[in-house]
Structure 1
Amino acid sequence: MRAMGIEENKAVVRSWFEAVNRGDEAAILATTADDFNFMTMARQPEWLLYNWNREQFSKVPTTMSTVLKSPIQLTVLEMTAEGDRVAVEAETDMEMLNGRRYNNAYHFVFKLRDGKFTEVREYSCSFLAQSCFGAVTPDDPSASKMADA
């Protein structure tokens, strides 16, 4: 096992954002280790307390895009790295099919091992996500429910 350098880790994170913006589930999956875990750091509502494995995580951009007028696009604003962690400030500003504007701000913490993510923690505005999306389930895109207009 070779320790990855900070710039290499940042490059892996950049490649993830590019894959998300392309809606490339296979590329997203390829950035994750077998023991990967994604969790949101929201406190409420309960349905936003995600704890996903790598397969669930790879489906999120596609699932979210089903309720947007165009595929989700995340813009990296700042990136800071130290050791095996990369912290990213990002944002999205999308128009939804229900007419709402989804313009969330995010802070992600990526933990890497051997060039793959072992953990991602997402901090974002849960109030905005709740008001725009309602419950979104990557396991069953047909179960997605947008909040009423």
Structure 2
Amino acid sequence: MQTSPNRLLALEYLAFIEAGDLPAAMKLASDDAVFWMPNTGDMDKAAFAGFLSAVLPAIRTMKLTIRGVTEDGERIAVEVDGSAELTNERVYKNHYHFLFIIRNGLLHNVKEFTDTAPAIEAFQP
């Protein structure tokens, strides 16, 4: 089975997020990219980078386990299990479904579907 450039791009983005490398992850997105998450709605690239800049320092280590990838042209769907050790000594675990829309070799839309309750509990002060 041949791995497409779109699939590789989506997985590379997740690998950069896992490593906490926000600048590298954002280089994979177009300037007009739109990111969507529960409770935040649509964010442009700058707003999303600002959101992650506030969250990533609270994460000591993160492991994303890819459970499945489905591809349909420019649409890449990725099922992920996540686990993170936080600086507040809590462990955050959640399941994710990402939908990436890729155009011209860059992320154009990223939708992150997840249960918000574990995040609220783990990250609260």
Check whether TM > 0.5: yes
Q: Is the 1:23–1:62 Cα contact (8 Å) retained in structure 2? A: no
Deviation larger for 124-133 or 72-81 = 72-81
Q: Is the 2:62–2:85 Cα contact (8 Å) retained in structure 1? A: no
Counterparts of 2:61 and 2:52, CA distance in 1: 8
**Alpha-carbon shift at residue 25 of structure 1 (Å):** 2.2
Structure 1 gaps of 5+ residues are 1-5, 43-47, 134-146
Q: How many residues align?
A: 124
Counterparts of 1:26 and 1:96, CA distance in 2: 21
Q: Relative to total residues, which structure has the larger strand share, 1 or 2?
A: 2
Give the counterpart of 2:47 among 56, 78, 84: 56
Runs of 4+ in 1 over 6 A off after TM superposition: none
**Alpha-carbon shift at residue 59 of structure 1 (Å):** 5.0
Normalised TM-score (structure 1): 0.73
> What's the C-alpha RMSD, in Å, of the aligned pairs?
2.1
1:66 aligns with 57
Structure 2 gaps of 5+ residues are none
Give the counterpart of 1:114 among 101, 104, 120: 104
**Alpha-carbon shift at residue 35 of structure 1 (Å):** 1.3
Amino acid at match of 1:65: L
Give the counterpart of 2:76 among 86, 90, 104: 86
Against the structure 1 CA distance between its residues 23 and 97, is the aligned structure 2 distance closer, same or farther, given a 3 Å change threshold?
Answer: closer
Amino acid at match of 1:99: E
Counterparts of 2:56 and 2:106, CA distance in 1: 24
Against the structure 1 CA distance between its residues 94 and 26, is the aligned structure 2 distance closer, same or farther, given a 3 Å change threshold?
Answer: closer
Match of 2:58, SS state, is: coil
Counterparts of 2:19 and 2:89, CA distance in 1: 23
Counterparts of 2:15 and 2:76, CA distance in 1: 16
2:113 aligns with 123
Identity, in percent, stands at 25
